[in-house]
Structure 1
C-alpha cells in the first residue's frame, strides 16, 4: 500500500515537473536530470506499476459503462472533493479537455482548445481558490447527468453539478453554451444567482434594437429578475444576469 501511495505522489509530481517523456524523469544527463524521482522509484519499477495499474474486476464489471475501468476511482475522487472543502460564494462551470491521442469511443475534437483531441470534462470550480468541486466525464449519450425537462443538455449539466449547492446563496458564472433565461430562472427559484455570456437567439431572450451600435455602447433590458445586456466591442456581446443591475460604473 505504501508503494502505491508513493506511486500516486510520483504521478502528481510529474504534473508539476514537466518532461517530454516518462523516461526523461530518470535521465542522468546533467541538462535534464531531476534526481528526486530516482529516490522514489527505479525507472523500470515505475513503468511496471504504470503498465499493470488496474482498478476493476473484469469478471464483475458493468461493461456497458464507458468508464467502468475508472468508475470506482472517479466516484471516490468526486466524493472527496465535496467533503474536504466548503466553497465560497462564486462558482464556475466550464469544459476542460485532457489530451488523449489513443483510441477511445468518446474522444472529442475541439479545435478551439489547446490540445484539440482528448477527453472532455465538465468541471465545477470555486472561483476564489480554483478548487475543483466536481467533474463529469463526457461520454456522449451515456454521460452521467440527470436530465431536466426544458433545460436541455447544457442546463442539465449545470443542475446535476450544482445539486448539492442549491439553496445556499451561491452565484454561478458560465459561458454562452450553458446560459439561458430558462436555466437562470430555475436557478433563481433555488436561491442561486447566475451570470454569463449568452447567445442572442436563446429562447426567452429579449429583442434588442437593430441599429448599428458604436464601439463601447451598451443596451439593457430587464424584467425585475433577469438583466440582459447587449454590449458592442468589435462585435455584439450579450450577457445575462440575475445578480446585477442596469448601472454603469468606472473601473481601472
Structure 2
C-alpha cells in the first residue's frame, strides 16, 4: 500500500465503540483499549507455560503526548511514557502477564489498589500454587509480601530498601565492615543477607528460597553469597523484553496513547511468538534463530491471506495484482533455507520459463565455487561455465558478462562499506549488502593491489590463480620488482617515508619469505632491476 493509505489507516484505527466511550471512561481510564488489552493478556497466559523462575518489573512505553497517567522514570531510556507492570520468564523472556498503571481509578469494578504488594499478587495470580520463584527489585519487596507469596506456594528473591522497619541496624549500616563480607539473618520462613561489594556500601536481599549461608565459589575473591548470584541471574527478564521491543519496534510517533499501548502489544506478541516457535522446533534444523528473519516471515504469514484475496480483485492494476500474487504464493520453506543455498546464485536474474531448469546452474556454481575459493581455478573459467549453464536454461549471457557483473557488485560493495565505515556518514543500504558480506573473507573478493611508485597510484589487479591464493595479499611494484605488504598501515608508512633501495630490497626479501604460500606452485618470483620486460609482462597479465 502507499504511505498515504498507511497513514490514513493509522489515523482511523480505534479499539472500541466511540459512541459509548464517554460513559465507560467514567468507570475506567483504560476504556479505549481495555477490551483488546484484556484479550491479548489472556492469550499470553494460555499460550505458554512459564519456567520455574520468573521476574516482575515495570516497562515504560515511550510517549510524550497528553495522557492522565503518563509517568516519568529517569532511569529508563525514554524517561516519559506509560508504565506497564510485567511478569516475564527469566530464561526465555516470554511475557506471561501485563498490567497498565493508570493511577487511581474511579470507584467501580476497575478500582484496584496500586500498592506494590497488591500489584505483585495480581500479576502472579495465574501461576499461584505452582512452586515457582519470583524475582523483583526493592520497589516491590517487603516482608509481608514474602509471607503472602509463601501461602500461595511461591518463593521470592529480591533486594530490600534500607528504610524497612523489620531490618536490624547491624544489617543496614556498612560502617566498620570490610569489603566482600556478608552477614546472614535466618527466620523460619526466609533468609536475610547483607553484602558489602565495596567500602561504605551494602546490598540487602531477602529470600524465601534459600535457607543457608552458602557462598558462591565461582565469584572468586568477591565471595558473593549464592542469594546474590541467583538474583543477578534472574533479575533481568523484563529488562531484556524491554530491550528486545526497542531493537525491532513497530512503534510510530503518535499523539494518541491507545496507539502506544497497541504498539507495545505488537512488540511483545512478536517476542512471545518466537519463544513459542523455538520451543516447538528445538530439534528442527530449519528453525529461524535470528529475530529479524522471524519477524519478517511472521509478517508475511499474517498478511498472506489478505494478499491472496486482493490478488483476485479485478479493479486493481494488473502490475499490483501480479506483485500481490507473487508475494502471497512465495514458498516459506525457500525463505527459511535461503542461507543454505549458494549465495551467488541469487545475483543473476532468471526468466520465469527457466525457473524449473535452474538446478543445472545451481549445480554448476556449487561444483566450481570451492575451486574458485581455493585459487586453483580462475574466475574466467568459472564464469564461462556459469554462462554455459545460463545459456542452456534460456538466458543469453556470456562469460565476460558474468565476470563484469561480479566485478561491478564488488566495486559497489567496497564503496558502500568504505562509506559506512567513516564516522559521521549516514548509513547506506543495498539490496545485495548482506549477500556480499558472505563473500567478504574469500580470497576472490579481496584481489591483490599494486602501487606504481612513480605516481603512487593504486591499480586494481583482477583475480588470477596466483593472486587468488593465500589470504588476499597486497603487492606493489618498486623499480620493476614486486614488494608485499600485509596491512594498510604498512602501506601508509611507505607513502610517508622515502625508503632507500637497500631498505626496500631487505624488506622485500623478508616479506617474501613470510607471505608467499609454500603450497602454491605458482608463487610470485622476485624480479631484478634489469628484467624490465618480464616485470611489465607479468604486470600486464595480472591487470588483464
Same fold? TM cut 0.5? yes
Q: Does 1:53 align with 2:13?
A: yes
1:65-89 Cα distance to aligned partner (Å, 9 max, x none): 2111111110111000001001111
**What is the CA–CA distance in structure 2 between the aligned matches of 1:137 and 1:80, rounded to whole Å?**
16
Deviation at 1:153, TM superposition (A): 0.2
Counterpart Cα distance in 2 of 1:128 and 1:91: 8
Match of residue 60, structure 2, among 97, 106, 112: 97
Asked if the contact 1:145/1:156 (under 8 Å) is kept, the reply is: no
Give the counterpart of 1:185 among 134, 143, 147: 147
1:247 maps to 214
Alignment-derived partner of residue 449 in structure 2: none
8 Å Cα contact 1:122-1:138 kept in structure 2: yes
Task: Give 1:171's aligned residue.
Answer: 133
Query: SS state of the match for residue 135, structure 1?
Result: strand
* Higher Rg of the two aligned structures: 2
Tell me, which stretches of 5 or more residues in structure 2 are unaligned?
A: 220-544
**Residue of structure 1 equivalent to 2:117:** 155
In 1, the alpha carbon distance for the partners of 2:169 and 2:148 equals 21
C-alpha contact (below 8 Å) 2:82/2:100 kept by paired residues: yes
Matched, 1:42 2:24: no
Aligned-residue CA RMSD in angstroms?
1.7
Q: How many angstroms does 1:146 deviate by?
A: 4.5
- Who is 1:196 aligned against? 158
Q: Say whether the 8 Å CA contact 2:159–2:204 is kept in structure 1.
A: yes
In the aligned structure 1, how far is the partner of 2:165 from the partner of 2:120?
17
2:203 aligned to which of 210, 224, 237: 237
What is the distance in 2 between the residues matched to 1:135 and 1:99? 16
| Partner deviation per Cα, 1:14-33 (whole Å, 9 max, x = no partner) | xxxxxxxxxxxxxxxxxxxx
**Is 1:119 the counterpart of 2:82 in the alignment?**
yes
Distance 1:55 1:169 in 2: 37
Partner of 1:32: none
Alpha-carbon offset, residue 145 of structure 1: 7.3
State the partner residue of 1:21.
none
Task: Tell whether the 8 Å contact from 1:182 to 1:204 is kept in structure 2 after alignment.
Answer: no
Tell me how far apart the structure 2 counterparts of residues 229 and 80 of structure 1 sit (CA, whole Å): 38
Superposition deviation, residue 237 in structure 1: 0.5
After TM superposition, give the deviation of residue 201 of structure 1 in Å. Answer: 2.3
Aligned residue for 2:49? Answer: 86
Residues 5-55 of structure 1: CA deviation (Å, up to 9, x unaligned): xxxxxxxxxxxxxxxxxxxxxxxxxxxxxxxxxxxx321111111000011
Q: CA deviation at 1:182?
A: 0.8
2: CA distance, partners of 1:214 / 1:142: 48
User: Tell me, what secondary structure is at the counterpart of 2:124?
Assistant: helix
Contact preservation (8 Å) 1:94, 1:123: yes
Contact 2:86 2:97 in 1 (8 A): yes
Give the TM-score, by structure 2 length: 0.37
Distance in 1, Cα, partners of 2:100 & 2:216: 40
Higher strand share: 1
Is the CA contact (8 Å cut-off) linking 1:55 and 1:69 kept in structure 2?
Answer: yes
TM-score by length of 1: 0.78
Are the aligned partners of 1:145 and 1:157 in contact in 2 as well (CA < 8 Å)?
Answer: no
Contact 1:181 1:203 in 2 (8 A): no
Q: Give ranges in structure 1 of 5+ residues lacking alignment.
A: 1-40
SS at structure 2 position matched to 1:236: strand
Bigger drift between 138-147 and 236-245 goes to 138-147
Structure 1 residue 188 displacement after superposition: 1.0
Q: Check conservation: 2:156, 2:208, Cα contact below 8 A.
A: yes
Which digits, 9 at most, give the CA deviation of each residue in 1:137-192, with x for residues without a partner?
A: 11111296754xxxx70010000011121111010000000111110011112110
Shift of 1:251: 1.5
Cα contact 1:81–1:133 (8 A) shared by 2: yes
After TM superposition, the runs of 4+ consecutive aligned structure 1 residues lying more than 3 A away are 143-147
